[in-house]
Amino acid sequence: QVQLEESGGGLVQAGGSLRLSCAASGRTGLLLGVGWFRQAPGKEREEREFISAINWAGDNTYYADSVKARFTISSDNAKKTVYLQMSSLKPEDTAVYYCAAPRDGASWYFSANYIYWGQGTQVTVSS
C-alpha cells in the first residue's frame, strides 16, 4: 500500500505564498509521480480540480491554466516528496488541497486516474 501525507496549508492574505508538501511512504516503487488537486468549498469529491502533477524524475510537469503562472511543482525523488510552491494567491484559490498518485501515465489531468489520495490540507486565502 501507499500512504500520502500533505502538509503546509494555512491562512494567507491575497498576494501571499504557501508551500505545500506531499510525502509518500509505503510501496513507493509503485508510483510514477504525484498530482495535486483541490476541492473548493461546496464542491463534491467528483469535482476536484486538477492543479499540477510531476513525475519522480522531475522532468515532466503538468499545470492547469489557472495556476500555471503562479504555482511551481517540484519533486525530491530521494525523499519521495513533492512540493507545490504557490505564489500570488487569490481568494479563489481557497480549497482543500489533495495530493494523489496516478494508476498510470495515461492521464495526469483526470482525478479518475488517481488511486491513492492523501487526507488533504486546507488553504484559505483572505481578501
The average pLDDT across 111-124 equals 96
Confidence tier at 29 by pLDDT (50, 70, 90) = confident
Largest CA distance in the chain: 42
Strands 121-126 and 10-13: parallel
The average pLDDT across 64-72 equals 96
**4 near 99, Cβ under 8 Å?**
yes
Confidence tier at 30 by pLDDT (50, 70, 90) = confident
C-alpha cell at 44: 463534491
pLDDT for res 52: 98
**85 near 97, Cβ under 8 Å?**
no
| CA 113, 49, 97, 109 torsion-angle sign | positive
The average pLDDT across 71-82 equals 95
- CA-wise closest residue to 101 among 39, 40, 29: 29
82-115 pLDDT per residue, tens: 999 999 999 999 999 999 999 888 899 999 999 9
